[in-house]
Amino acid sequence: MEIPAQRPKLSDGGDSGSEDRLSDLPEDLRLRILADTRDVAVAARTSVLSSRWRRLWRLLPGLIFPFPSDPHRVHLALQSHEAPALCLLEAGVLDGTPDSVAPWLLNVAPRLFGRLSLTSRAAQDGSEEDMADERGAFELPCCQNAVSIRLELGPLGVSMPPLGVFARLNELSLVCVQLHGPCMLGDLVSSPRCPVLRKLIIKQASGLGNLAIHSDSLLGICLKDVHLHPADALGLGHVTIESKSLLQIELTCVHSLQQLTVTAPALERIYVDSCFANYRATASRHNQPVANIYAPRLKSLYWHDAYDPSSTQFGNIENLETLGAYFFRVYGRDNYAPNNYVLRLLRRFQLILSLRFLLLYQPDITDQQFLMEDIARLPNIARMSLGICPQGHSFGASVFHLLRMSTGLKALWLALVGSTSHPEVQPVCPSGCSCDHPSNWKTEELALNLLEEVEIHDIRGTEHEAALIKRLFDWATVLKKMTVTFHRSVNEREAKEFFQMLQSFSRPEICMKGPCFAYCSLSNVS
C-alpha cells in the first residue's frame, strides 16, 4: 500500500522551528507575492505571518488601493511607505475632498516613476457640477517622472499646475473631471511642458475653455462629451491643433464647438462625431461653425457630423483610403438634415478604397418616403462596411440600391444592429408594410463580378435576412467566402437550422464560415 506523503507544517506566525517555506523565499519573490494581492491592506496584513514578512509591504514598488478606499487611510499608508521610487500608484477613493487627496498626491509626486491612476466617487447622488462647486478643487502636482496619469474624479474638481515639466509623460487621461483654475489645459499638454506626450484622452469633462494644443510628439487625441466653459466668452468653442507628428484625432460630443482648425502634416486618422450637428441646427446662416482640416497624409476620415462644404474645408487629402459618413435615414421626409450631410460628403470624393456608414430605419414608416433614391452616386470603392438598423423591416431594397452603384466592390461587410435603447428587442414589421418596395431587387439582375468576400454580422434568422443573402449569392458570381455571425439572442439550434438553409443557396466553390455568435449595437458601429 502506498503511504501518502505528509504535508509540511505551516508557520504558527512566530519564529518557531516549524517549516515555513514561503518565509524562506528571497525578498524579491515575496514582494512579487504581495504585489499579486493588488490591495495594500491585504499586503499589510501579511506582517502577522512572521518577522520576515513584517513591514515588507512598505517596500512594494507599486501600491493599489481598490475602491472604495478611505482617502485618509491612503495618506497614512503612503506616509509609512519606504520604497524610494513608485512604479504604480492606483487609488479608488470614496468621497474624496481637496484636503484629503492633495497632501498625499503632493508627497508622492517626486518619487512616482510610472503610472498614476486616481478615481474618486461620491456616495450621495446629485449633480456632479454642483457637488464640485461645494467640494472645491485640488491642484494636480507636477509629476515630472510619471509615464501615465489617469484621473476620474466625478464631483471632485481639479486644476492644472501652472509650472513644471512632465518630462516622461506619455499618456494623460481625464475622465469625469471638473476643470478649475487659470492654467489652460492646452498649455500643460503642449510640447514645452509635455515633450513626449503621445496620447490625450478627455471624456465627460467640463470647464474646458479655449483648447489650443501645440505638440511635436502627440500621436492621439480623444475628446468625448466635453463641455466648454461658458465664462470664456472670447475663446468659447475654438479648438486649434497644430502638430508635425500627430497621427490620430478623435473628437466626440465636444459641445458648443464653433471652430475646429487642424494643421497636421503627418495626420493619418481623424474622427469627428456629433460636435457640430446640434449647434448647426440652431446657428444662424451668418454664424455657422467652421472646420478647416489640413492633413495631406490623411488615410481615414470619419465625419459623423454635420457637413457643409461652404464651412467645412478639407485640404489636400488625395491619399484618403477610408471614408466614414453620418447615418442615413432610409424613410422620412424630404430635406432631412443628416441625410443631406451624407449626400454632400459623398459628392466630395470620386475615388476611395473603403466606404462606411449606417442605414437607419424607424419602427413606423407609414406615409414616409423612400429616401435611398436621393443617393444618385457613390465614389468608386473596393470595400463597403454598412451598418443597418432595420427595426424589423426588409432592407433588401436599400442594400440593392447601393450595390448597383458599386459594381467594382471586392468586399462587403454588413452589421445588423439594434437600437441604442433596446438592442435586444427586434420589432415586428406590420403586415402590408411598404418597406419591401421598390421590389425590383427581388428579380432584377446585378453583376457584382469582383465581389469575393462577404461578412454578415448579428443576424437573427429572419425571412428578410434570408431573402437578401439568397440574392447576394446570385449577384456575386465569383464569391469565394461568406462569414455569418448570429446575434446572441439566437439559440444554437435555430442558428444551425438557418445556417443550413443558407448553405443550400451556396455553391460548392464558396467557403461558408459559421455559425458563430456576436453582439453589436447602434453605438459601436462607426
CA distances from 102 to 98, 350, 351 (A): 6, 56, 55
Tell me, yes or no, whether 287 lies in a domain: no
Strands 248-255 and 269-273 turn out to be: parallel
Q: How far apart are CA 197 and CA 180, in angstroms?
A: 22
Could you tell me if residue 125 is inside a domain? no
Give me the pLDDT at residue 3, please: 38
Domain that holds residue 45: 19-54
| 438-457 per-position pLDDT tens digit | 999 999 999 999 999 999 99
Residue 369 is predicted with a pLDDT of 93
Q: List beta partners, residue 485.
A: 516
Q: What is the pLDDT of residue 12?
A: 44
In angstroms, rounded to a whole number, what is the distance separating the alpha carbons of residues 90 and 71?
12
Residue type at 502 in one-letter notation: L
pLDDT band at 145 (very low <50, low <70, confident <90, very high): very high
Q: Assess if residue 500 is contained within a domain.
A: yes
Q: Specify the higher pLDDT residue, 358 or 184.
A: 358
pLDDT tens digits for 277-287? Answer: 665 555 555 55
Q: Determine the pLDDT at residue 287.
A: 56
Q: What does 275-294 look like in DSSP terms, one character per residue?
A: SSHHHHHHS-TTS--EEEEE
Strands (E), 244-346: 248-255, 259-263, 269-273, 290-294, 300-304, 312-314, 322-329, 331-332
Query: Between helices 463-475 and 492-505, what is the axis angle to 10°?
Result: 30
Span of 226-240, 370-384, 474-488 with lowest mean pLDDT: 226-240
Closest by CA to 90, choosing from 39, 154, 22, is 39
pLDDT at 338 > cutoff 80: yes
Is residue 28 one of the residues assigned to a domain?
Answer: yes
Q: What pLDDT is attached to residue 70?
A: 84
- Cell 509629476 found at: 143
Instruction: In whole angstroms, give the CA distance from residue 299 to residue 338.
Output: 24
Model pLDDT, residue 436: 85
Half-sphere exposure of 378 (CA within 13 A, CB side): 26
Give the chain's domain count: 2
Mean pLDDT of the residues in the chain: 80
Say if residue 524's pLDDT is above 60: no
Angstrom distances, CA of residue 139 to CA of 227, 313, 450: 20, 39, 60
pLDDT recorded at residue 136? 81
In this structure, the strands spanning 331-332 and 369-370 are antiparallel
Tell me the CA distances in angstroms from 17 to 12, 21, 134, one per residue in order: 10, 12, 58
**Helix-helix angle 98-108:71-80, to 10 degrees:** 20
Residue 390 has pLDDT above 60, yes or no: yes
Element (H, E) at 107: helix 98-108
Q: Which of 19-23, 412-416, 449-453, 471-475 has the lowest mean pLDDT?
A: 19-23
In a domain, 336, yes or no: yes
Q: How far apart are the first and last CA of the chain?
A: 68
Q: Are strands 112-121 and 148-152 parallel, antiparallel or unpaired?
A: parallel
CA distance 197 to 218: 5
Residue 231: pLDDT band (50, 70, 90) is: very low
How far is 518 from 439, CA to CA, in rounded Å? Answer: 30
Give percent above pLDDT 70 in the chain: 74
Does 513 have pLDDT greater than 70?
Answer: yes
- 228 confidence band (pLDDT: 50, 70, 90): low
Q: Is residue 444 part of a domain?
A: yes
- What integer is the mean pLDDT of 43-51? 64
Q: Within 10 A of 58 (CB to CB), how many other CB atoms are there?
A: 16
Which DSSP helix (H) or strand (E) runs through 72? helix 71-80
Report which of 141, 208, 130 is spatially closest to residue 174, judged by C-alpha positions: 208
Predicted confidence (pLDDT) at residue 266 exceeds the cutoff of 50: yes
Is the pLDDT score of 148 beyond 50? yes
182 vs 392, more confident: 392
- pLDDT reading at 383 higher than 60: yes
When pLDDT is cut at 50, 70 and 90, the band that residue 428 belongs to is confident
Q: Of the candidates 54, 79, 97, which is a domain's last residue?
A: 54
Q: What is the identity of the amino acid at 40?
A: V
Closest CA to 501 of 459, 478, 477, 469: 469
Report, as an integer, the average pLDDT of 203-231. 62
Higher pLDDT, 127 or 264: 264
Does some domain include residue 226?
Answer: no
DSSP per residue over 446-498, as a string?
---TT--EEEEEEE---HHHHHHHHHHHHH-TT--EEEEEEETTS-HHHHHHH
Whether 35 is covered by a domain: the verdict is yes
Residue type (1 letter), 94: L
Residue 264: what pLDDT?
78
For residue range 100-144, what is the model confidence (pLDDT) as tens digits?
Answer: 899 889 988 998 999 999 999 887 655 445 544 556 889 999 999
Query: How confident is the model over 309-337, as pLDDT tens digits?
Result: 998 999 888 899 999 998 999 999 888 98
Looking at per-residue pLDDT, the higher value among 50 and 368 belongs to: 368
